[in-house]
Amino acid sequence: MRAQFVASEVGNGLRRNLTMTLAVIITVAVSLTLFGVSLLVRAQVDTMKDFWYDKVEVSIFLCADGSDTSSCVGGEVTRAQRDQIRADLESLRPLVVEIYYESREEAFIRFQEQFANSPIVDSVGENALPESFRIKLSDPTQYDVVASAFSGRPGIEQVNDQRQVLDKFFRLLGGLQAVALIIAIVMLVVTVLLIVNTMRVAAFSRRRETSIMRLVGASNLYIQLPFLLEAAVSAGIGALLAVGGLILTKTIVIDQILAPSFQFTAFVGWEAVLAIAPLLLLVGIGLSAIAAFFTLRKYLRV
């Protein structure tokens, strides 16, 4: 096998079919980028789940002066009511792991810190935020136990499970990710078809050469290798571009645009990119191999 001969055949083939080669490179790049981004979104959802599920609490908001819920008709929560609630929470251990009381002042300070860069800080008065008990559960799915014990009790305005809000949000992200993944898979199928067609055209435009090669006794490998390498090279370039797209998504979209604006949550790290990148290369080259296998079997027989 003369490497130089094969290399020059591959180079000639790619140049001769330049428009088709470009089309393959671009579709591979776009579909794999989409595939990579959809995997990145999934990693992002997982990261946020890890980050938030650790922090989520059940909040029991206590009645303030102007609360208009029916359980608040007695006006602001009394000291006796507050002590009773705390005692009842203590009795729910070990389901309840942590109990933390947050006064109105503390709530306001925390709010100010959380939205330090945001204009809504100025629109919220010092007493606008209610006092509350913040509870951590050993098993966050057992939220109903707390809810049924405390909602509607005099002195309690509302029982609130952050996890439910988060889950809704994560389901939305998961849905978006699934849609992106489906589109990516459809595009990958289109990519395979395009590669098949490109190889068919390449095999046709070189049928003189290949028929002579067959007659003089060139081995199958020698006849097919240039086609295989052409497909692998263009798919490989496309996959590398997709890895580039993934890196840009991480550095620009995530690190420079999203992360500064949403400082309260965690974002995927480079390890996710590092895990996805080889997968993209593998899928890209694997696709071209599958396409090549079937095309060559059909069009370049001995």
Partner 1 sequence: MILFDNVTKVYPNQTRPALEDASLEIEKGEFVFLVGPSGSGKSTFLRLVLREERPTSGNVWVLGKDLMRLSNWKIPALRREIGTVFQDFRLLPNKTVFENVAFALEVIGKPKSHIRKVVPEVLEVVGLEGKEGRRPDELSGGEQQRVAIARAFVNRPKVLIADEPTGNLDPGTSVGIMKLLDRINRLGTTVIMSTHDAQIVDQMRRRVIELEHGHVVRDQSRGVYGYAR
Q: Which of 230, 222, 272 is nearest to 247 (CA)?
A: 272
Determine if 15 is a binding residue for partner 1 (CB under 8 A): no
- The interaxial angle of helices 270-299 and 18-53, nearest 10 deg, is 140
* Minimum CB–partner distance for residue 169 and partner 1 (Å): 59
Using omega within 30 degrees of 0 as the cis cutoff, is the peptide bond preceding 94 cis?
yes
- Work out how close the CB of 223 gets to partner 1 at its nearest, in angstroms, rounded to a whole number: 8
126-147 burial: b if 16+ Cβ within 10 Å, else e: eeebbbbbebebeebeebeebe
Dihedrals phi, psi of 68, to nearest 5 degrees: -110, 15
Q: Contacts with partner 1 in 159-218 (CB under 8 A)?
A: 208-209, 211-218
List the one residue from 24, 60, 184, 223 that touches partner 1 (CB under 8 A).
223
CB nearer to partner 1: pick between 2 and 168: 2
In the complex, minimum distance from the CB of residue 288 to partner 1, in angstroms, rounded to a whole number: 23
Question: Between residues 125 and 217, which has the closer beta carbon with respect to partner 1?
Answer: 217
Nearer to partner 1, 79 or 208 (CB): 208
The H or E element spanning position 157 is: strand 156-161
**Which one among 69, 220, 251, 256 touches partner 1, defined by CB under 8 A?**
220
Q: For Cα atoms 64, 66, 68, give the angle at the middle one, nearest 5 degrees.
A: 100
d(CA 61, CA 112): 18
- CA-CA distances (angstroms) from residue 207 to 197, 227, 283, 295, 301? 15, 12, 29, 14, 11
What is the closest distance, in whole angstroms, from the C-beta atom of residue 302 to partner 1 in the complex?
5
Nearer to partner 1 by Cβ, of 165 and 212: the residue is 212
22's enclosing H/E stretch is helix 18-53
Q: Number of helices and strands (H, E) in the chain? A: 11, 4
DSSP state of 216: T
- Closest to partner 1 by CB, 116 vs 302, is 302
Of 3 and 87, CB closest to partner 1: 3
Pick from 1, 80, 120, 274: which binds partner 1 (CB under 8 A)?
1
For partner 1, the closer of residues 114 and 219 by Cβ is 219
- Least distance in Å: CB of 217 to partner 1? 4
Instruction: Provide the minimum distance between the beta carbon of 10 and partner 1 in the complex, in angstroms, as a whole number.
Output: 14
Phi and psi (nearest 5°) for 98?
-135, 140
Total residues at the site for partner 1 (CB under 8 A)?
18
Binding site for partner 1 (CB under 8 A): 1-2, 5, 208-209, 211-220, 222-223, 302
